[in-house]
Structure 1
Amino acid sequence: MRSGITRRWLCGSLLMTVLLVLLVEGMFLYSCTRSYYNSVQQTMYRRFSSISGQLKMYTGDTAQKASASRSVALRRMVEQFSDKDKYEFMLLDSYGSVIASSSGTDAEGILTSADFEQAQETGDGMGVAIYHTDSSEMVMAVCCLVPYAAEDVAAMRLVTSLTLVQNQLKNVFLISIVVVITILGFTVASGLYFVRSIVVPLGQVERTAASIARGELDVRLPVTGDARDEVDRLRGTINRMAEGLEETEKMKNEFISSVSHELRTPLTSIRGWVETLRTLDDPEDENYRKGLEIINNETARLYNMVEELLDFSRLQNGRLKMSCHPLDLVAELTDAVLFCEARIQREGLLLSYSEPEEMIPVYADPNRLRQVFINILDNAIKYSAPGGRITVKIWQGEYKAFIEIIDQGRGIPPEDLENVKTKFYKGSNSVRGSGIGLALVDSIMTALDGTLDLKSTLGRGTVVTLGLPIYKR
């Protein structure tokens, strides 16, 4: 992970930053170079402008005398040139050859004809050339055509060394390189710190997720509680996932233990009575008939439990299909109450139910609806003590039909009330069962676009309210 994120950062953000800094560095150095060269060039231009102004004052009786005067003046300027340590001042003929030079030589080895040729081609009569001499010294030559006739003098040239300029540019280059290295160093350091601030927590999350995948559900990530930190929120989400998985695993284990116990009890009873029946040869014997009845009841109990488990599994996987059609909710509820009435009486309980005269149309699956009613009535019977009352009510609202099943049993503790509809959950006050009855009922009601509400008071009983939309053509 560290390599992947760091590589993407190097190939993305850092590479773009380096290219941008190098581009700015190149533009800066080019700008500085042009600025220094233009400064030197403009200084020599001003020199030529001053000389041209002086030549304008030379006049004579004839143009020939004026031309001779200018030629003499130019030669005198060359001989008396005061900045010989900075510039080489030359006079050129019409062929570009040196007529006179401030150093007294023909300046062999430092000349080029590029400036003279450029001056002849441009409109302002100026030409510039930057080149290396035979001694590898960089110089700048600026040539200016003489604006007035001066006998054989056709142009003036100033040549200066760029050694000082080059040294200054080297200093600027070194300073800019230091600045660039500092910027890139800061960028790399801050980037690595930022990447590390992401990579390290993600690596921790990865290791924790791998531990959870191996079944170590008790591991947790440290959180700071900062809602603005995305990584911290991710750690909190992983922790909540682990807590949920741990709770689910705990409920699953309890469910397996509970179901194993629930299956063992009827199987033990069946096995015991089968062994007893083997010793009885008389079908008229009271114990023979009692044994067959118990075996039948326990087999039915096992069958119902397995069917409940299969239905819940199908419903969770989306394989349980609903065969819905319009039906009378009152008739379905009455059938379920009559089915449980005999058992309610056997358990010593009282039943209170008044069947409405008018039908209540709903759109539902009658088999699943009956399963919901019997499951809730079964819970009411299991959690009620002898002598208690089970009350069943049904009424029609404006948009929904409501069924209320009330018992006077032991009730549900407040800490268990919000979890009793969770699959595999068995509260501290629960009795025998698989722990998925209410979860199955809630799933069926949700599939039927209905509702399931629970209210309970510990030691006084529970009220279960079912709601289904009224069917209208």
Structure 2
Amino acid sequence: MLNNGIKQRMIGSYLIIIVMTVFVLETFLIMSISRYYYINMENMVKNQIKVSVDFYNSYLSSSSLKKNIMDNADIFWKNTSAEVQIISPSGKMLMDSIGNYIPGTMEGDDIDKALKGDVGSSIETDKNTGEKLLCVSSPLKTSGNTEGIIRFVTSLSGVNHIIKKIAVMLILIGFIVILITGIISIAISNTITKPIRQVTDMANKIAKGRFNERVKKERDDEIGTLLDTLNFMADKILQNEKLKNEFIASVSHELRTPLTSIKGWATTMRTGNLDDKEEIMDGLEIIEKESDRLANMVEELLDFSKFISGKITLNRDYVDINGTIKYMYKQLSLRAKRQKLHFKVQVQYSISPILLDENRIKQVLTNLLDNSFKFTPQDGIVELSVKTEYNNLIITVKDNGIGIPKDELPRVTEKFFKGKTDKSSNGIGLSICREIVELHNGKLYINSEYKKGTEVKVFIPIDDD
């Protein structure tokens, strides 16, 4: 229905423009043709009346007008097929070539102009027949004095008949033009509505979960770009679906591992020898560690869910970043010793308090440093540095670990993405880090070279207020 509506509106718009254009052009042409024929007819009659006036001035002006009418009346209409009228200076008809005598004073724009000494013309309508008449009047002068007016009256029926034929022909041509352009409009609208229909069908298929469907692009225009975007969206949805399934499988596996350990030791302690305190303490320690691990995973998943739904909020306050970094060093230095890593911390002296959500920044640092510790071998180096520059807080975590493969680097912060290495976890840690940094209006950048190390830089703008 949507495509039909667009198609109908497009065809309707085209036809309105075409009909208006044809109407305006034909009106202009018909008026121009009418004017052309009328002017030609007027000029012809004026030439005829000029010949009669010149002949009168040359050969008949020595006698009075009334005498010439009585003796040489036919001389006035010899050069024309028009009705010839002779009118006195007072406006009374003296003669009519067809005997159509009009009593009283005659009126007309052409007569008024002739009385003033010029050739005048006008178009009048016969009161009896309704026929249009062209009237041309010219003064008859003797020694500079106007003795009377000669008037030619001719019918415009023939001219109007020709104009009517031309108008009918133009109107017929106009209908043909409208018909042809209407067909072309339908064809043009189909080239637009067909791809839109394809887009709609594709969107419906995606809505029904058919992510493998694709639309073939036929033109490199705006609609072609839309089709490319839709196909790209389908690829991304399919890719995210795959990542989501892999993520669920990975999380399920990681949840199963601590649960298996907890259940195993609980069963051992229930059925074993409770007198062996050392074994009981070992079991309780494993249960405690696995429970903490499980709790951390659940907490991470909850955080991830909040970020996805957009429900996460920041509790900002002015934070002494030096104190935060000291806390992180104390928390992770023992782990660095256990893993035989060189953990180095460098903080710019006397950084002023910065408006941050300290707990969330600690979460970012924990995730970044956890990744560095996890992927850096023994005797490796993990460096944490903090400084302010160009009104930004810059946090850098750098290591000389195994690095990130080039094909994985652009995607490591994507939701659900999990690397191919065995140590890769559920694939949400870096995604959460990026979300937290962006909530602080900052940016997170990762540079890495496979088997040489990784450097993560966090830029957070400092609020001067």
Is residue 87 from structure 1 mapped to residue 82 from structure 2 by the alignment?
yes
> In structure 1, what is the Cα distance between the partners aligned to 2:9 and 2:136?
56
User: In the alignment, what sits opposite 2:306?
Assistant: 314
Q: Which amino acid aligns with 1:69?
A: K
Q: Which amino acid aligns with 1:118?
A: G
Is residue 217 from structure 1 mapped to residue 211 from structure 2 by the alignment?
yes
> In structure 1, what is the Cα distance between the partners aligned to 2:402 and 2:247?
22
Specify every segment of 5 or more residues in structure 2 that has no aligned partner in the other structure, as ranges: none
Shift of residue 435, structure 1, vs aligned partner: 0.8
Contact map agreement 1:445 1:451 (CA 8 A) in 2: yes
Number of residues paired by the alignment?
A: 452
Is residue 101 from structure 1 mapped to residue 94 from structure 2 by the alignment?
no
Shift of residue 436, structure 1, vs aligned partner: 0.8
Contact map agreement 2:403 2:451 (CA 8 A) in 1: yes
Residues 120 and 5 from structure 1, CA distance in 2 versus in 1: closer, same or farther, beyond 3 angstroms? closer
Q: Which range moved further: 86-95 or 285-294?
A: 86-95
User: In the alignment, what sits opposite 1:442?
Assistant: 434
1:394 maps to which of 385, 390, 398: 385
Residues 154 and 54 from structure 1, CA distance in 2 versus in 1: closer, same or farther, beyond 3 angstroms? same
1:380-410 CA distance string (max 9 Å, x none): 333345x343423435465556554444543
Is residue 349 from structure 1 mapped to residue 340 from structure 2 by the alignment?
yes
Contact map agreement 2:367 2:429 (CA 8 A) in 1: yes
1:72 maps to which of 70, 73, 96: 70
User: In the alignment, what sits opposite 1:25?
Assistant: 26
1:391 alignment partner, SS class: strand
Residues 68 and 341 from structure 1, CA distance in 2 versus in 1: closer, same or farther, beyond 3 angstroms? closer
1:257-295 CA distance string (max 9 Å, x none): 212222222223333333333335737644433333222
Shift of residue 425, structure 1, vs aligned partner: 0.8
Shift of residue 168, structure 1, vs aligned partner: 2.6
Q: Which amino acid aligns with 2:75?
A: M
Q: TM-score, normalised by structure 1?
A: 0.79
Shift of residue 155, structure 1, vs aligned partner: 6.4
Is residue 173 from structure 1 mapped to residue 163 from structure 2 by the alignment?
no
Pairing of 1:355-374 with structure 2 (within 5 A): 358-363=349-354, 364-374=356-366
Is residue 233 from structure 1 mapped to residue 225 from structure 2 by the alignment?
yes
1:339 alignment partner, SS class: helix
1:277 alignment partner, SS class: helix
User: In the alignment, what sits opposite 1:118?
Assistant: 108
Is residue 269 from structure 1 mapped to residue 243 from structure 2 by the alignment?
no
Q: Which range moved further: 447-456 or 255-264?
A: 447-456
For the aligned residue pairs, the C-alpha RMSD in angstroms reads 3.9
Contact map agreement 2:111 2:137 (CA 8 A) in 1: no
- Calculate percent identity across the aligned residue pairs: 29
Contact map agreement 1:280 1:288 (CA 8 A) in 2: no
> In structure 2, what is the Cα distance between the partners aligned to 1:259 and 1:112?
114
> In structure 1, what is the Cα distance between the partners aligned to 2:410 and 2:359?
27
Shift of residue 161, structure 1, vs aligned partner: 4.6
1:394 alignment partner, SS class: strand
User: In the alignment, what sits opposite 1:297?
Assistant: 289
1:194-219 CA distance string (max 9 Å, x none): 32222222222222222222222223
> In structure 1, what is the Cα distance between the partners aligned to 2:153 and 2:168?
28
User: In the alignment, what sits opposite 1:420?
Assistant: 412
> In structure 2, what is the Cα distance between the partners aligned to 1:370 and 1:284?
41
User: In the alignment, what sits opposite 1:43?
Assistant: 44
Contact map agreement 1:115 1:129 (CA 8 A) in 2: no
1:431 alignment partner, SS class: coil
Contact map agreement 1:114 1:129 (CA 8 A) in 2: no
> In structure 2, what is the Cα distance between the partners aligned to 1:220 and 1:261?
34
1:117 alignment partner, SS class: coil
Is residue 411 from structure 1 mapped to residue 403 from structure 2 by the alignment?
yes
1:77 alignment partner, SS class: helix
